[in-house]
């Protein structure tokens, strides 16, 4: 695949997604991390991460999303948060919240943490344990959320929904209210990484999706003054695709645990692209000039129907990685789009998977054979 020679991209990224580690106490079967996870020995050092933050701030980044895996497994997280605060980067901790003591949370708040985003796998304790592969997880998450609010930090609950927990969506809303969350993100699973490997186990029915749309609409009407609810629909049932990552190399820059810099989680699944590392190149060069980031900027690479579609400036043709995964062509219109000639086949595939008995979960594990547990 040839890179298209271009002028350097002028706009800065808004957000840096810092994937500090792939280590995690949970094993969610819909994890967006790659199937080949990075081992601890290959993670970036504290020194390099602090330099990356300096470079990101100089580049114009405003928000820092501290993610993983589980970012609190990094013992240098306080130092990273403190540097973000010194550089006036808004820091958001994305955590599973199962192994974080009140003392640790206080230390992070003291270091300057601005916001916490907590994943909740299910509102049913057994379901929460089964999906995350971790015993006693819900009680720990609830205690963690209360500690976040007691410190006066803003809280977002992140509910990833699928066929196994969608029928409890109303209770997710109730939990968010009870925990005084500012925001609830109801996100249908996006099928990349481990989620793609577990697609048949997770795919909801069309009826479940329709019901979730109604529940979110009613909750927004009823609680709109207290709780902001974001909603992400499943691609396979969409009419138009999402503007994935707000467009390739347009708004978000992701640094993986080993230092590779990516436009999105799944970018390495696209063959022929060489993603530079922060160990070898300045972040500014990677963002503005690297061939991998330039590859799907602008509109010249597009095929029909995207090329002449008025929505191309809204969704940028959807997701390049999904076009690669499902069609073997990263330049194709995302088949989540109803205008794609492949859309009907993708929709039929989703309906067939949702109508079949779910296969066992393939749990996400670091350096262990994937375990099969009945779903």
Binding site for ligand FES (CB under 6 A): 192, 244-245, 248, 264-267, 319-322
Binding mask 232-251 for ligand SF4 (x = CB under 6 A): --------xx----------
Nearest approach, Cβ of 332 to ligand SF4 (angstroms)? Answer: 10
Residue (223 or 299) nearer to ligand SF4, CB = 299
Q: How far apart are CA 166 and CA 159, in angstroms?
A: 10
Name the region of 249 (left: φ>0; alpha: ψ -120 to 50; beta: rest).
left
Q: How far apart are CA 72 and CA 87, in angstroms?
A: 21
Nearest approach, Cβ of 263 to ligand FES (angstroms)? Answer: 7
Q: Are strands 63-67 and 90-95 parallel, antiparallel or unpaired?
A: parallel
Q: Which residues is 183 bridged to in the sheet?
A: 156, 228
Nearest approach, Cβ of 164 to ligand SF4 (angstroms)? Answer: 30
Residue (113 or 245) nearer to ligand FES, CB = 245
Residues 269-328 within binding reach of ligand SF4 (CB under 6 A)? 305-306, 309, 311-312, 315, 317-318
Place of tokens 């601005």: 114
Could you tell which of ligand FES, ligand SF4, none binds residue 211, using a CB distance below 5 to 8 A set by kind?
Answer: none
Could you tell which of ligand SF4, ligand FES, none binds residue 137, using a CB distance below 5 to 8 A set by kind?
Answer: none
Binding of residue 353 to ligand SF4 (CB under 6 A): no
Binding of residue 347 to ligand SF4 (CB under 6 A): no
Q: Which tokens is 277 given?
A: 């590392």
What residue is closest to ligand SF4 based on CB? 309
Nearest approach, Cβ of 124 to ligand FES (angstroms)? Answer: 30
Q: In what order do the strands lie in the sheet with 63-67?
A: 228-232, 183-188, 155-161, 115-119, 90-95, 63-67, 15-19, 252-255, 261-262
- Residues 12/61, Cβ–Cβ less than 8 Å: yes
Q: How far apart are CA 67 and CA 226, in angstroms?
A: 26
Binding of residue 330 to ligand SF4 (CB under 6 A): no
Q: Is 273 exposed, middle or buried (0-12, 13-18, 19+ CB in 10 A)?
A: buried
Could you tell which of ligand SF4, ligand FES, none binds residue 306, using a CB distance below 5 to 8 A set by kind?
Answer: ligand SF4
Q: Which residues bind ligand SF4 (CB under 6 A)?
A: 240-241, 305-306, 309, 311-312, 315, 317-318, 333-334, 337, 339
């Amino acid at each position: 695949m040839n890179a298209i020679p271009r002028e350097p991209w002028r706009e800065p990224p808004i957000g840096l997604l810092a994937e500090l580690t792939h280590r995690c106490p949970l094993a969610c079967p819909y994890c967006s991390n790659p199937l080949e996870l990075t081992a601890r020995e290959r993670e970036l050092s504290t020194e390099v991460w602090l330099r990356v933050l300096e470079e990101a701030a100089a580049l114009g980044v405003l928000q820092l999303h501290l993610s993983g895996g589980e970012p609190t497994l990094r013992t240098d997280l306080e130092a990273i948060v403190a540097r973000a605060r010194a550089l006036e980067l808004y820091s958001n901790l994305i955590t599973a919240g199962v192994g974080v003591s009140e003392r640790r949370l206080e230390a992070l708040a003291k270091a300057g943490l601005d916001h916490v985003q907590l994943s909740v796998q299910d509102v049913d304790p057994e379901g929460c344990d089964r999906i995350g592969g971790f015993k006693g997880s819900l009680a720990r998450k609830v205690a963690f959320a209360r500690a976040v609010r007691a410190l006066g930090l803003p809280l977002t609950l992140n509910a990833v929904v699928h066929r196994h927990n969608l029928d409890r969506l109303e209770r997710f809303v109730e939990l968010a209210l009870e925990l005084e969350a500012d925001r609830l993100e109801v996100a249908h699973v996006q099928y990349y990484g481990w989620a793609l490997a577990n697609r048949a186990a997770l795919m909801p029915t069309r009826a479940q999706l329709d019901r979730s749309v109604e529940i979110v609409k009613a909750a927004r009407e009823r609680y709109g003054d207290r709780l902001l609810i974001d909603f992400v629909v499943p691609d396979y049932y969409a009419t138009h695709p999402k503007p994935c990552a707000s467009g390739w190399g347009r708004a978000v820059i992701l640094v993986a645990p080993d230092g590779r810099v990516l436009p999105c989680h799944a970018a390495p699944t696209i063959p022929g692209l060489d993603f530079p590392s922060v160990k070898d190149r300045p972040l500014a060069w990677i963002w503005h000039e690297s061939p991998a980031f330039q590859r799907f900027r602008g509109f010249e690479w597009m095929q029909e129907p995207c090329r002449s579609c008025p929505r191309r400036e809204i969704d940028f043709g959807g997701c390049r990685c999904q076009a690669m995964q499902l069609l073997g062509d990263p330049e194709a219109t995302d088949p989540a789009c109803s205008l794609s000639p492949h859309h009907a086949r993708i929709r039929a595939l989703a309906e067939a998977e949702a109508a079949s008995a779910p296969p066992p979960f393939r749990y996400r594990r670091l350096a262990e054979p994937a375990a099969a547990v009945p779903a």
